[in-house]
Amino acid sequence: MNTVFVAYLILISLGIVWRFIPGVPSPIIMRNAISSLVIQILLPLLTISVIAKAPMTDAIWQIPFTAIAVTIGCLLTAWLVYAGLRKTLLNNMSDATMGSLIIGSTWCNATYLGLPIITGIFGEEMSFIPVLYDVLALTPLLWTLGVFIAGYFRGDEQSHGERMRESWLKILRLPPIYAVIIGLALKFSSVQIPDILLHVSEIVGKAVPPIMMISVGMALTLPKWKSLLILIPGSIIRLFIGPALASLCIVFFGMHNTIGEALIIESGMPTMVLTLALIDMYDLDAEILSHLIAFTTISSFITLQFHLLS
């Protein structure tokens, strides 16, 4: 277990080192290129095979339902906590900062960090968990519910209908959504997946985790000491409240031990890197969000081991 975390910490460190290498493309350019490669090609290929080979149990719908419950629970908690802090200790906090902190406390890095760690700890056969968790819940929620939250804290005058239209157009452009549909269609049909597709999927499955971890390292910007106070509540929500809510869902559904353990770890992942794209789109506080991503990512290598041992 420790070997898995140390290996991924080294890969993240390589992403941090990239920004100090002279003459190479900037981390932002590289991160955007990697994200496009993963979302447009690698993740869809992996998703089709993973979903088609996933066990046909109630976990197929329990996993995304748990992800939705965890996301909404963290959202409500973050909103209440930061609204309270804004009225007391942090009364100079801007709308842009509060919106960024709420979004960062809510959405976890289910794929970029979740997929490598879940497969590294529980094996390749559990790769369907982060895929279902993200593609059927987190990403659609980010581009619907997340868009409404970002628009609200920007003071956006755009109508709800226009926002909803843009949100659904964004979701419909995501190849992993169609990959899940194809994978489920293959799962429920008698169609045999071609061996060549399975072989390509295996190669992609080995390539995606290290690429994702290096990309996470490129996104990290270390927080300043004075910003730690404002980051701690969001970090606690993301790293502890999320897994606690997942535990309640697991007990309620009576899930299998291994799937339940993997879901707790998945729900305790640090802040989703993709939230930066949403924050930039709505001109919220990208700096504080990048600090939250860095702080929760570094902290998660301790908290995730705590969840594994508890």
Stretch 224-246: mean pLDDT:
91
Between CA 182 and CA 175 the distance in angstroms is 11
Ramachandran class of 129: left when φ > 0, alpha when ψ lies in -120 to 50, beta otherwise: alpha
Q: Determine phi and psi for 271, rounding to 5 degrees.
A: -60, 135
| pLDDT, tens digit (0-9, with 9 covering 90-100), for 141-198 | 998 888 889 888 877 655 566 666 766 777 777 788 888 888 888 777 777 777 787 7
The CATH number that applies at residue 164 is 1.20.1530
In a domain, 5, yes or no: no
Q: What percentage of the chain has pLDDT greater than the value 70?
A: 95
Domain assignment of residue 20, yes or no = no
Residues with Cβ within 8 Å of 76's Cβ and at least 6 positions away in sequence, in order, are: none
Give yes or no for residue 298 having a pLDDT over 60.
Answer: yes
C-beta separation of 138 from 61 below 8 A = no
Is 236 inside a domain boundary? yes
What's the pTM value of the predicted model, to 2 decimals?
A: 0.85
pLDDT confidence of residue 173: 77
137: which residues sit within 8 A by CB, 6+ positions away? 63, 64, 65, 67, 68, 71
Per-residue model confidence (pLDDT) at position 91: 81
pLDDT in tens, 23-75: 899 888 888 888 888 888 888 888 887 777 777 788 889 999 999 999 999 99
Say what the pLDDT of residue 143 is: 85
Does 44 map to a domain?
yes
The pLDDT assigned to 118 comes to 92
pLDDT in tens, 213-229: 888 888 777 777 777 88
Residue 87 in domain: yes
| Domain annotation covers residue 3 | no
Residues whose CB is less than 8 angstroms from the CB of residue 169 and which lie 6 or more positions away in sequence, other chains included = none
pLDDT value, residue 159: 57
- Residue 269's pLDDT band (boundaries 50, 70, 90)? very high
Question: pLDDT-derived band of residue 257, with 50, 70 and 90 as boundaries?
Answer: confident
Has residue 140 been placed in a domain? yes
* Contact in structure between 119 and 8 (CB atoms under 8 Å): no
- Domains held by the chain: number: 1
Give pLDDT, residue 156. 61
Cβ atoms within 10 Å, residue 207: 14
Structural domain including 264 reads 27-309
The pLDDT score that the predictor gives to residue 200 is 82
